[in-house]
Amino acid sequence: MIFKGGVFLLAVMFLSGCSLLSEKPGEPYRSQDMRVLQQQQQQQWYFEGRLALADEKDSFSASISWRHRSGRDDIELSGPLAQGKLMITVEADFVAVDDGDNRKEFSGPAEEVLAEQLGVAIPVSALRYWVLGLPDPEQSFVEQVDGFFQSGWRVGFREMQHVNALLLPRKINVEKDKTRIKLIVDQWDLS
Q: For the chain, what are the domain ranges?
A: 27-189
Task: With CA atoms as reference, report the closest residue to 78 among 90, 65, 68, 59.
Answer: 65
Separation of alpha carbons 137 and 126, rounded Å? 9
Exposure string over 119-144, b if 16+ CB within 10 A, otherwise e: ebbbbbbbbbbbbbbbbbeeeebeee
Q: What is the pLDDT of residues 10-22, one digit of tens each?
A: 333 333 333 333 3
Q: What is the pLDDT of residue 34?
A: 64
Separation of alpha carbons 29 and 31, rounded Å? 7
pTM: 0.79
Query: H or E segment at 11?
Result: helix 2-20
By CB neighbour count within 10 A (0-12 exposed, 13-18 middle, 19+ buried), where does 111 fall?
middle
Separation of alpha carbons 152 and 121, rounded Å? 12
Q: What is the pLDDT of residue 98?
A: 93
In this prediction, the residues of the chain whose per-residue pLDDT falls under 70 are 1-26, 31-42, 81-82
Q: What is the pLDDT of residue 71?
A: 86
Please calculate the CA angle 26-82-102 and round it to the nearest 5 degrees.
Answer: 125
Q: For CA atoms 170, 88, 152, 181, give the dihedral sign.
A: negative
Q: Are 135 and 148 in contact (CB under 8 A)?
A: yes
Q: What is the pLDDT of residue 80?
A: 74
The answer regarding whether domain 27-189 maps to CATH 2.50.20.10 reads yes
